[in-house]
């Protein structure tokens, strides 16, 4: 294992441990992958995040093959298929964070009730149709729900987030979980009003200006 390979593996483990520390793994269900070499690195089936080390991270090729004696996360196919289909991203997080998973269990998307839905790259955080875990159907449904965005819910599963780096993928997962929590609280008062297309366009422009260090209003 060379220095670059070790750094990438350690980064995967750190991100996995951050998910656990922030409670984004629900009942201990989360996995992380990173585009690497002629394939991807992915968290192992065992041990748990707190006991895992760089050597436990599994290297997969694009055919899903891995070294004997290693067991990748059972969600490896989803990670492999997302990375193969989305050349614009390099990292994937799948987790059963509590609030996002609660919505996913009802097959509910997160609509444009708050401008922070834009943080995932679209105007809605869609919920993918249900399919059994580890199947090509689950990958297909998840890709359809993502539709160029960086996050979606998956019915009866949880949350999937994509990113260019592990850090921004983690940030997206954290933001979507926060949105899911706020949306669930808002639903306690009834369906919240939604932002119009014009309001979302204005919010997007304002956020872009702020990201570039300019005043939010032209």
Quote the pTM value. 0.94
Q: 3-class SS at 77? A: helix
| Residue 150: exposure state from Cβ atoms within 10 A (0-12, 13-18, ≥19) | buried
Hey, what are 74's tokens? 């059972």
Q: What is the largest CA-CA distance in the chain?
A: 58
Tens-of-pLDDT digits for all 218 residues of the chain? 789 999 999 999 999 999 999 999 987 899 999 999 999 999 999 999 999 999 999 999 999 999 877 899 999 999 999 999 999 999 999 999 999 999 999 999 999 999 999 999 999 999 999 999 999 999 999 999 999 999 999 999 999 999 999 999 999 999 999 999 999 999 999 999 999 999 999 999 988 876 666 656 65
Q: How many other C-beta atoms are found inside a 10 Å radius of the C-beta of residue 135?
A: 12
- Domains, the chain, ranges and CATH? 3-211 (3.40.225.10)
Question: Residue 120 and residue 167: Cα distance in Å, rounded?
Answer: 14
Q: How many other C-beta atoms are found inside a 10 Å radius of the C-beta of residue 144?
A: 12
| Residue 98: exposure state from Cβ atoms within 10 A (0-12, 13-18, ≥19) | middle
């Amino acid at each position: 294992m060379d220095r670059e390979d070790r750094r990438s593996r350690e980064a995967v483990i750190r991100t996995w441990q951050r998910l656990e520390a922030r409670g984004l793994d629900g009942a201990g269900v989360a996995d992380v992958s990173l585009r690497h070499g002629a394939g991807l690195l992915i968290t192992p089936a065992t041990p748990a995040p707190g006991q895992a080390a760089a050597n436990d991270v599994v290297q997969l090729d694009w055919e899903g093959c891995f070294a004997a004696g290693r067991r990748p996360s059972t969600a490896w196919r989803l990670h492999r298929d997302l990375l193969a289909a989305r050349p614009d991203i390099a990292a994937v997080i799948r987790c059963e964070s509590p609030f996002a998973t609660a919505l996913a269990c009802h097959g509910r998307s997160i609509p444009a009730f708050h401008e922070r839905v834009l943080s995932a790259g679209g105007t809605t955080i869609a919920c993918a149709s249900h399919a059994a875990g580890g199947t090509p159907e689950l990958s297909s449904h998840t890709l359809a729900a993502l539709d160029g965005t960086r996050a979606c819910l998956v019915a009866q599963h949880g949350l999937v987030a994509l990113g260019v780096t592990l850090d921004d993928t983690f940030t997206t997962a954290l933001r979507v979980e926060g949105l899911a929590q706020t949306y669930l609280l808002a639903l306690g008062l009834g369906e919240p009003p939604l932002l119009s297309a014009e309001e979302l366009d204005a919010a997007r422009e304002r956020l872009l200006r702020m990201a570039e260090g300019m005043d939010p209003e032209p």
